[in-house]
């Protein structure tokens, strides 16, 4: 394949071919980056024009398993329905490119992005948008602006732009920006958790009878502060703008002649607009006060009917547009000029919130979260490792397990619509994914599987943020530990020239008639996830910073209410599974399992629990339907561990014996003494020199000389003889 253009970007390069494939499409781009090859095409239906005030654009991102040398798993050996990743990537491309189309463009349009070859380091979401934008730019559609994406990561405290997938896995930040050479259009951001061991707290379990394993501190939440995030935006935005300038310069020579097509004739009837302004402003304001979408639509429809009684020659469709224009003007003017919103709230005021937990007695946990006229019932179910969702991505070598799931459902009755409940829509998948990204950084499930399902019962503004708040409360109502309290808030903006107003906790009316939809989740200290779509062609970082701090104020207010509700939680003890984790000396695992598994089977039946033991490090997990059963099972296991083994030799401090390395663990090695008794050779006692990794100096089965250093109960501490 001959490539027409090579574009050098920050930390990566892309090669483009514009004329050799998919020649019957309106626009096509064959793109190669590393060993990844993507084809993006755009086709419009020139014969049909949709008269509705809507752009009929469909984006499909499709992965082919042959791209990674794989055959689809399962019974059917052909790609079937899109994966979640494919659907979410399609949404990202759609949201980024939709603003580019000319006003009045009504032709059904299909953008198809196909992955033909893939390497394990390429960011497919970035490349998919860049390829689709290139195909649109060189097409015969009247679009003369490039949109591209830049991803930012934070690896070992350093900002990395356009990271490889390996770098992203080790990052504490995942930030995806898209925009033009002049404007930032979309933001997707999440903080990523990381686990670390504090070596200063790794203690010898044999020196302290209260310890059965090294103490491991887990640092999960990496919520990002507002100032740091703005600084990252500044650096990433600069690269984004420069990249688009390169694209336009490189692609301009390959652009086709602009197609002569019909645009929707959408001209407002100014006579009707003036009539509504002069005679029915009180009716418009009354309809604005009908906060629910269904109630407001009914009020405006009744107004149209009343006007048409006296103005029989008017077309209802034109009158509907005129009323909508006056309503939008009034909503925006009241906010900008009077600094008061349609429901009477101040710009930074959050609607009343009520929280009820464990309203479903047979569920593991639940929360009914209500904010104004938005209501989410979030239900939690706990499971074990086998309940995890299996999936396989194109760039992974094998099957992966997802042990935290958030499923969001938006039935029509939540907005007063008489529509059947069908399959999961793209919007539902996207909102569930946003809530998952918000909550994931504060959790350490340690082998458990958790599924949150959010049923939206009523919606008037940001049900996804209600899902975040209700999801956190459901976690706490299930007695699941979190590293911080997380809430979410939807922000909006209305702007005319230099005059603007930032709105906290927007409702549906303000989302529809405003200029920005900006969702922010996090703790009182920082942000865990965010999503932003801008309708007016960009936003300055100064305004964005102001919006972030106003969001922090609103988030803190919501968190205070959630913390108060958390104190009143009553657990569903009858149905809530209980889980306990602890460590034992691995040398006792044989006694716990018993001959042919007899002992552990008896415990499982007697206490009605499931017991998982890691033979390598002695980690024990007990799960059961009642806390009492779990506690009794742990007590029984600890009784076995604390029962002294009968020693055939009477050991004394200072005695030296030959021993065999029986088991190597992170904090040392268990040594089998001559009579079969086990002792611990701590990592600090292996050598006169510092030892970072036990397996570097000892191997299982190796015979060494040891000295008895100390007895602690039935446990023996050893030192190595040199």
Return d(Cα 147, Cα 102) in angstroms, integer: 15
3-class DSSP string for 571-591 = CCCCCCCEEEEEECCHHHHHH
Condensed to tens digits (0 to 9), the pLDDT of residues 217-251 reads 333 456 889 999 999 999 999 999 999 999 999 99
- Strand spans (E) along 463-604: 487-496, 499-504, 516-522, 527-534, 578-583
Return d(Cα 672, Cα 288) in angstroms, integer: 80
Which residues on adjacent β-strands are paired with residue 253?
none
**CA nearest 239: which of 12, 39, 527?**
12
Burial per residue of 307-326, b for 16 or more beta-carbon CB atoms within 10 angstroms, e otherwise: beeeeeebeeeebebbbbbb
Please, is 196 exposed, middle or buried when counting C-beta atoms within 10 Å of its C-beta (0-12, 13-18, 19+)? exposed
Please, is 512 exposed, middle or buried when counting C-beta atoms within 10 Å of its C-beta (0-12, 13-18, 19+)? middle
- In the block, tokens 């200063």 appear at 200
Return d(Cα 674, Cα 659) in angstroms, integer: 6
Return d(Cα 440, Cα 529) in angstroms, integer: 10
As given in the structure block, the two tokens for residue 230 are 């703005």
Sheet arrangement for strand 404-409: 353-357, 365-371, 374-383, 449-458, 404-409
**CA nearest 150: which of 95, 191, 189?**
189
Q: Which phi and psi angles does 190 have, rounded to 5°?
A: -150, 145
The pTM is what?
Answer: 0.79
Return d(Cα 330, Cα 336) in angstroms, integer: 10
Return d(Cα 382, Cα 362) in angstroms, integer: 13
Alpha helices (H) in 72-211, listed in sequence order: 84-97, 124-138, 165-169
Alpha helices (H) in 204-266, listed in sequence order: 226-251
DSSP state of 258: P
Q: Which phi and psi angles does 200 have, rounded to 5°?
A: -70, -15
**Looking at residue 213, what is its pLDDT?**
33
In sequence order, which residues have a C-beta less than 8 Å from that of residue 69 and are 6 or more positions away? none
- CATH fold of 5-154+220-254: Ribosomal Protein S5; domain 2 (3.30.230)
Alpha-carbon distances of 131 from 176, 383, 591, rounded to whole Å: 16, 41, 61
As given in the structure block, the two tokens for residue 418 are 């008489």
Q: Which ranges of the chain have pLDDT less than 50?
A: 194-220
Return d(Cα 14, Cα 2) in angstroms, integer: 13
Return d(Cα 133, Cα 135) in angstroms, integer: 5
Q: Are 331 and 509 a contacting pair, CB within 8 Å?
A: yes
**Looking at residue 388, what is its pLDDT?**
87
Residue count (the chain): 722
**CA nearest 182: which of 147, 228, 223?**
147
Q: Are 153 and 383 a contacting pair, CB within 8 Å?
A: no
Return d(Cα 273, Cα 288) in angstroms, integer: 17
3-class secondary structure, 705: strand
**Looking at residue 279, what is its pLDDT?**
87
As given in the structure block, the two tokens for residue 205 are 């379990």
**Looking at residue 265, what is its pLDDT?**
62
- CATH fold of 270-338: Arc Repressor Mutant, subunit A (1.10.10)
**CA nearest 491: which of 500, 479, 499, 483?**
500
Return d(Cα 111, Cα 94) in angstroms, integer: 9
In sequence order, which residues have a C-beta less than 8 Å from that of residue 577 and are 6 or more positions away? 364, 382, 623, 624, 625
**CA nearest 116: which of 79, 90, 162?**
79
Burial per residue of 217-256, b for 16 or more beta-carbon CB atoms within 10 angstroms, e otherwise: eeebbbbbebeebeebbeebbebbbebbebbbebbeebbe
Which residues on adjacent β-strands are paired with residue 6?
15
Instruction: Say whether 353-566 and 5-154+220-254 share the same fold.
Output: yes
Return d(Cα 313, Cα 460) in angstroms, integer: 35
Q: Which CATH superfamily is domain 656-720 in?
A: Nucleic acid-binding proteins (2.40.50.140)
Radius of gyration for the alpha carbons in the chain, expressed in angstroms and rounded:
31
Q: Are 438 and 523 a contacting pair, CB within 8 Å?
A: no
Domain ranges of the chain: 5-154+220-254, 270-338, 353-566, 578-641, 656-720
3-class secondary structure, 334: helix
CATH of domain 353-566: 3.30.230.70
Q: Class assignment of domain 578-641? A: alpha beta
Q: Which phi and psi angles does 305 have, rounded to 5°?
A: -60, -40
Return d(Cα 353, Cα 376) in angstroms, integer: 12
| Residue 398: Cβ within 10 Å count | 6
DSSP state of 517: E
Note the maximum CA span of the chain.
111
């Amino acid at each position: 394949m001959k490539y027409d253009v090579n574009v050098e970007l920050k930390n990566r390069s892309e090669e483009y071919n514009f004329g050799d494939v998919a020649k019957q499409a309106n626009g096509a781009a064959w793109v190669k980056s590393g060993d990844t090859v993507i084809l993006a095409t755009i086709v419009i239906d020139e014969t049909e024009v949709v008269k509705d005030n809507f752009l009929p654009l469909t984006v499909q991102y499709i992965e082919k398993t042959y791209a990674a040398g794989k055959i689809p798993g399962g019974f059917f050996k052909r790609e079937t329905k899109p994966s979640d990743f494919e659907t979410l990537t399609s949404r990202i491309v759609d949201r980024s490119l939709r603003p580019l189309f000319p006003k009045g463009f009504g032709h059904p349009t299909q953008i198809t992005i196909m992955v033909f070859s893939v390497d394990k380091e390429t960011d497919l979401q970035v490349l998919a948008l860049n390829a689709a934008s290139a195909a649109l730019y060189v097409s015969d559609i009247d679009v003369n602006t490039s949109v591209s994406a830049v991803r930012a990561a934070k690896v070992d405290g350093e900002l990395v732009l356009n990271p490889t997938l390996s770098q992203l896995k080790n990052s504490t930040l995942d930030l995806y920006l898209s925009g033009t050479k002049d404007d930032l259009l979309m933001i997707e951001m999440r903080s990523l958790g990381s686990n670390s061991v504090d070596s200063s707290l790794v203690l010898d379990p044999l020196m302290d009878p209260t310890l059965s394993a090294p103490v491991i501190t887990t640092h999960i939440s990496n919520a990002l502060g507002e100032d740091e995030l703005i600084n990252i935006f500044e650096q990433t935005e600069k690269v984004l703008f420069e990249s688009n300038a390169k694209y336009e310069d490189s692609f301009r020579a390959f652009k086709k002649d602009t197609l002569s097509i019909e645009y929707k004739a959408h001209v407002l009837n100014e006579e009707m607009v003036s009539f509504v302004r002069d005679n029915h402003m009180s009716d418009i304001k009354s309809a604005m006060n009908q906060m629910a979408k269904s109630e407001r639509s009914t009020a405006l429809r009744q107004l149209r009917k009343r006007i048409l009684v006296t103005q029989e020659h008017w077309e209802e469709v034109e009158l509907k547009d005129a009323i909508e224009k006056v309503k939008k003007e009034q909503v925006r003017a009241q906010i900008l000029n009077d600094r008061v919103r349609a429901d009477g709230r101040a710009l930074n005021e959050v609607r009343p919130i009520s929280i009820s937990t464990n309203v479903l007695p047979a569920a593991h946990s639940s929360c009914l979260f209500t904010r104004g006229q938005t209501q989410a019932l979030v239900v939690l179910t706990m499971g074990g490792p086998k309940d995890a969702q299996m999936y396989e991505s194109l760039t992974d070598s094998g099957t992966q397990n997802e042990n935290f799931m958030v499923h969001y459902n938006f039935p029509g009755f939540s907005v007063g619509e008489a529509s059947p409940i069908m399959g999961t829509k793209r919007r539902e998948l996207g909102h569930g994914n946003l809530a998952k990204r918000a909550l994931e950084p504060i959790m350490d499930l340690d082998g458990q599987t958790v599924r949150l399902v959010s049923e939206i019962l009523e919606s008037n503004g940001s049900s996804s943020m209600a899902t975040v708040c209700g999801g956190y409360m459901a976690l706490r109502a299930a007695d699941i530990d979190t590293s911080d309290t997380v809430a979410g808030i939807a922000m909006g903006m209305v702007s005319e020239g230099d005059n603007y107003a930032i709105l906290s906790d927007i409702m549906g009316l303000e989302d529809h008639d405003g200029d920005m939809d900006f969702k922010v989740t996090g703790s009182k200290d920082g942000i865990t996830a965010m999503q932003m779509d801008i309708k007016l062609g960009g936003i300055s970082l100064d305004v964005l910073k102001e919006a972030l701090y106003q969001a922090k104020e609103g988030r803190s207010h919501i968190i205070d209410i959630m913390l108060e509700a958390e104190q009143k939680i009553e657990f569903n003890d009858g149905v809530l599974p209980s889980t306990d984790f602890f460590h034992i000396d691995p040398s006792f695992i044989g006694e716990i399992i018993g001959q042919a598994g007899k002992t552990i089977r008896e415990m499982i039946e007697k206490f009605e629990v499931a017991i998982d033991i890691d033979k390598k490090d002695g980690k024990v997990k007990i799960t059961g339907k009642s806390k009492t059963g779990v506690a009794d099972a742990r007590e029984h296991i600890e009784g076995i561990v604390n029962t002294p083994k009968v020693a055939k030799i009477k050991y004394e401090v200072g005695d030296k014996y030959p021993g065999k390395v029986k088991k190597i663990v992170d904090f040392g090695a268990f040594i089998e003494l001559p009579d079969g008794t086990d002792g611990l050779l701590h990592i600090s006692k292996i050598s006169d020199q510092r030892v970072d990794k036990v397996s570097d100096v000892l191997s299982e089965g190796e015979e060494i000389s040891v000295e008895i250093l100390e007895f602690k109960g039935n446990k023996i501490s050893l030192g190595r003889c040199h």
